A and B are shown apart, each in its own frame.
Chain A
Amino acid sequence: MSHYAPDAKYQELAPGGIIPQAGNAEEYSTGAWRLQKPVRRDEDCIDCMFCWVYCPDNACWTKDQSVKGLQFDYDHCKGCAICAQVCPKKCIDMVPEDQES
């Protein structure tokens, strides 16, 4: 089991309120809290990876450990705009969630 069932009884939880299953933050979707989402203008991106380094939620990532072709993980991105702030090309736009991108 990589996480507790939503209806887990108190007796099933580890003492001390610890999470004994490592790395399961991935399974807890937090993207719904976001008010604005980062959208990248691909043509201006220089693959410097600053956004990858600075994103506090590992929500700026690439496939297969590549250093090219950044994507946003909208299930976990919280819309903090740190990536947009640090991007040297200013090619990340923060788009309000209620607006079509």
Chain B
Amino acid sequence: MPEIKPMEGNQAVAEAMRQINPDVVAAYPITPSTEVVQTFSSFVANGLVDTNYVAVESEHSAMSACTAAAVAGGRVMNATSSQGLALMWEILYITASLRAPVILTVVNRALSGNINIHCDHSDGMGARDCGWVQLYGENVQEGYDNLLQAVRIGEALDVRLPVMNCIDGFLVSHSYELLQVEDDAPVKDFVGPYQAVNPLLDISHPISIGPLDLWDYYFEHKRGQCDAYPPAKEAILAVGKEFGKTFGREYGLMEEFMLEDAELAVVALGSTAGVAKVAVESLREDGVKAGLLKLRAFRPFPAAEIAAALQGKKAIAVFDRAISFGAASGPLFSEVAAALYTAGQQIPALSVLYGLGGREITPEQISGVFRQLPEVASGGQPADPVLFLGVRE
């Protein structure tokens, strides 16, 4: 019988890793993700998993070892945050280019400087172009469920991409919530055995990995990599559906909360979606037709699906927990706006930058943004489309 237990996000992720029992975990601890690998290393020490745990000297080495183990033919997992993810940067691109389905839990934390250990999405957003699939979870249950699904999505034979399972630092990683822990056997059945593709250790089929690739083939290789993302979108949907059939919680590319008949909508990622749900419910009680689009898959970006879900809205606000310095708006806003433009939809839209470095976001603040949206709707595009929400000025 599945058990319902109070667990922190980090413990839930470690528990999922125990059930998956990966071949290799090569990790270097960093706040707030430390507890994931710390808890998992105790599982290794206590013989609960067969994993080869490699304690390395930096995140650059961690991702190098993970990528090498994956191309050698193993199922590989890891966890990191913020500066740790930044130190992996060089290798992240290589992992994706080599089509090595490493699974990395990213416990989202602000990037330095100044140094800050709390949640924002500057780490994940900074890594958005490196070729990894990115799933953002709202709460502890989603951190657990998304990790189990990430394995199937990344390892699908027409996908073969690394996946980031993103959860909000402290807000989810260190919050106790009731988690439905599924039994080991159905989880193992769902995840299935690892199927290596062109493993380096298959010495009867020798191959070369990562060779010099100049003007003559590099462009073709990058073009080929692009073809993995539409199947990744399909895999997210198919695996999410199968997860629903198996465990009763179905997942898609996004979650629409009171969105269908909404006139005003907010788009958000991560735990803020939970806060926005409270705001939407209270606005509905006041007769405001508010709705939420919670994006689960940021990579591959479901542009057409987002445009379809937002069609006919009078105004929207896109919430970004990261700044793209020098850009006209937040990174999520830019992509949502491009999705709408490409679909021929002119919806007045506000870019909301909020919650940096762990600054709290409240339902009242989100309601306040909703209350600005009718004016945005009537005036067309706002004069200053970027709102810094909750900053002292």
Contacts and interface: CB of A to CB of B under 8 A. Distances in A.
B277 interface: no
B211 A17 contact: yes
A14 B216 contact: no
Contacts of A19: 207-208, 211
Interface in A7-37: 8-11, 13-20, 22-23
Q: Which size bracket describes the interface of A in this complex?
A: 10 to 19
Given A4-B217, A6-B216, A15 B207 contact: no
Q: Looking at A10, A13, A14, which has the most chain B CB atoms within 10 Å of its CB?
A: A10
Interface residues of B, number: 25
A19 B200 CA distance: 11
Nearest to A14: B198
B217 A16 contact: no
A14 B209 CA distance: 11
B98 interface: yes
Contacts of B217: 4, 8, 13, 17
Nearest to A20: B207
Interface stretch (B104-112, B166-174, B218-226, B347-355): B218-226
A16 B198 contact: yes
Q: Which of B97, B100, B217 has the most CB of A within 10 A?
A: B217
B160 A15 contact: yes
A4 to B, nearest CB: 7
A10 to B, nearest CB: 4
Nearest to B224: A10
Contacts of B205: 20, 22
B97 A22 contact: no
Q: Which of A6, A15, A19 neighbours the largest number of chain B CB atoms within 10 Å of its CB?
A: A15
B213 interface: yes
B209 A18 contact: yes
B221 A17 contact: yes
A19 B211 CA distance: 8
B99 interface: yes
A13 B210 CA distance: 14
Interface string B351-377: 000000000000000000000000000
Interface in B196-214: 197-198, 205-211, 213
A4 B211 CA distance: 14
A17 B216 contact: no
B220 A18 contact: no
B206 to A, nearest CB: 4
Instruction: Count chain B CB atoms within 10 A of each CB in A4, A9, A14 and give the residue with the most.
Output: A14
Nearest to B99: A16
Contacts of A15: 99, 160, 197, 224-225, 228
Interface in B305-328: none
Contacts of B211: 17, 19
Nearest to B223: A10
B220 A16 contact: no
Contacts of B197: 15
Given A16-B198, A22-B206, 17 more contacts: A8-B220, A10-B219, A10-B223, A10-B224, A13-B221, A15-B197, A15-B225, A15-B228, A16-B71, A16-B98, A16-B209, A17-B97, A17-B210, A17-B213, A19-B207, A19-B208, A19-B211
Interface of A: 4, 6, 8-11, 13-20, 22-23
29 contacts: A8-B217, A8-B220, A9-B220, A10-B219, A10-B221, A10-B224, A11-B224, A13-B220, A13-B221, A15-B99, A15-B224, A15-B228, A16-B71, A16-B97, A16-B99, A16-B198, A16-B209, A17-B97, A17-B210, A17-B217, A18-B98, A18-B209, A19-B207, A19-B208, A19-B211, A20-B198, A20-B207, A22-B205, A22-B206
